Amino acid sequence: MSRNLDAAPSSLAAVRALGLGEETLRLLAQIDEMGPAFAERAFRYDADASFPFENYDDLRAAGFLKLCVPKRHGGLGADYRSYMLVSQRLGFWCGTTANTFNMHVANSLWTADLVDGLDLSRKQRDEHEAHRALHYRRMVAGALYAQPFSEASSAAAGVSPFGTTAKPVDGGFVLEGRKIFASLSGAADYYGVLCTEAKSRKKASRRDTMFVAVPATAEGLTIVGDWDPLGMRGTVSRTLVLKNVFVPEDGQLMPRGIYIQAAMRWPHMFMTLAATYLGVMQAAYEFTLQYLRGEIPGMPVKRRMYPTKQIAVAEMLVKLELAWAIFLRAVAEAKLDPSEDERARALACQFTVMEHCNEVCRLAIRTCGGQSMLKSLPLERYYRDSRCGSLMLPWTAEICMDRLGRGALYRPGETDA
């Protein structure tokens, strides 16, 4: 079901609030040009739990696979703030596409200006420049990168080292391990794998985390398991198994040991999925308005005159505006070495968007009523997709609350001992 939206006031307001300009507006306009087709296809991808290849063909043709590749490397050069607005608008049209696109973009967004601001040696900077130039050339040429993050452990939550290991060998590394919930499995050209460098006679440490790109054609890389989840079904997040997989030296996306510094000093890198779910929230709210106004094709009955529905819409709008407000503030504050308050606000933003998204979708279904549950309409899919956001590592809703509470009550390094 497509929508006739000639303008997106929320996007225009967000661009102005973040001090962005015409370049970002053009990117958003391009997403809105492609968006109706994405929304139409979303029904099929959800029903079949199939990857949105057609959407990625459109994104590739429009140059969006190089969105956050620096301009000096042939990309569009979108920064963190612009990307977050593009992702929000993409999530409005198709949550699955925005979710997976986030995994692709992370491989360029994390390796560009973010790394340049970190403490690297001259040798590390020179090696990183050479390595990322290779990956950027691939992205500019249309290659799709994934970012398998999760394992069946606490590693993805940042509590322990990744169980997937990279053993240094002549000319590169040999990887062993497995990644669960690996979005874009079977669709990506490269998998940006987070793993732990294996060092002889030394206990594994988070400081030895590596970030390397594994070609989809690499010998020893297999995809296993089924994929039949509650929501975000088109992400096709099956399990990657890496067995004696060789990756050359230039496969590194970050210099050895630098990822953990990036994670500690640039925490907003973990907040990017909030944009996807803010888009889903916006879509659920706007669908509700159209439904109650009788503007949905084939359903011309107006239901907007009932006070109970007006109150529910008002509640949805308040939640949406609250989510937008904290989202824009947190995005504006994203930078190297944010203050403790800014770190807390990023966690609060993640929690607020993910939980409010599901709450707005719940209210939308209750308010629109019985027909809104039909799979011929998008609302029940929004609801199922929305419930997945709070579960996504590394910042699940529970982790956000744990860290917010402890951070408010304990100063850095403080204990009760």
CA-atom Rg of the chain in angstroms: 21
1-15, 198-212, 263-277, 356-370, range with the lowest pLDDT: 1-15
Looking at the predicted structure, is the pLDDT value of residue 40 above 60? yes
Q: Distance between CA 267 and CA 414 in Å, rounded?
A: 21
- pLDDT at position 412 is 83
Q: Are strands 172-182 and 165-169 parallel, antiparallel or unpaired?
A: antiparallel
Cα distances from 76 to residues 38, 57, 105, 177, in angstroms, run 22, 17, 12, 34
DSSP 245-281: EEEEGGGBSS-TT-HHHHHHH-GGGGGTHHHHHHHHH
CB 161 within 8 Å of CB 155: yes
Mean pLDDT of 83-106: 98
Who has greater pLDDT, 402 or 6? 402
Mean pLDDT of 308-328: 98
Looking at the predicted structure, is the pLDDT value of residue 298 above 50? yes
The candidate with the shortest Cα–Cα distance to 395, out of 408, 385, 404, 382, is 404
Q: Write out pLDDT tens, residues 123-146.
A: 999 999 999 999 999 999 999 999
Looking at the predicted structure, is the pLDDT value of residue 198 above 60? yes
Strand partners, 145: 190
Looking at the predicted structure, is the pLDDT value of residue 121 above 90? yes
- pLDDT at position 322 is 98
Look up residue 87 and give its amino acid. Answer: S
Mean pLDDT of 205-224: 96
Q: Are strands 145-146 and 190-197 parallel, antiparallel or unpaired?
A: parallel
CB 167 within 8 Å of CB 243: no
- pLDDT at position 5 is 41
* CB proximity list for 203: less than 8 A, separation 6 or greater: none
- pLDDT at position 157 is 76
Q: What are phi and psi of 2, to 5 degrees?
A: -95, 165
Residue 40 CA, chain-centre distance (Å), reads: 22
Q: Which domains does the chain have, with CATH numbers?
A: 9-140 (1.10.540.10), 145-257 (2.40.110.10), 266-408 (1.20.140.10)
Looking at the predicted structure, is the pLDDT value of residue 154 above 70? yes
* CB proximity list for 161: less than 8 A, separation 6 or greater: 155, 196, 204, 205, 206, 208, 209
- pLDDT at position 152 is 81
Residue 313 CA, chain-centre distance (Å), reads: 28
Looking at the predicted structure, is the pLDDT value of residue 110 above 60? yes
- pLDDT at position 192 is 97
- pLDDT at position 380 is 96
Average pLDDT, the chain: 95
Residue 301 CA, chain-centre distance (Å), reads: 37
pLDDT-based confidence at residue 4 (cuts at 50, 70, 90): very low
Q: Write out pLDDT tens, residues 368-401.
A: 988 888 999 999 999 999 999 999 999 999 999 9
| Ramachandran class of 143: left when φ > 0, alpha when ψ lies in -120 to 50, beta otherwise | beta
| Ramachandran class of 3: left when φ > 0, alpha when ψ lies in -120 to 50, beta otherwise | beta
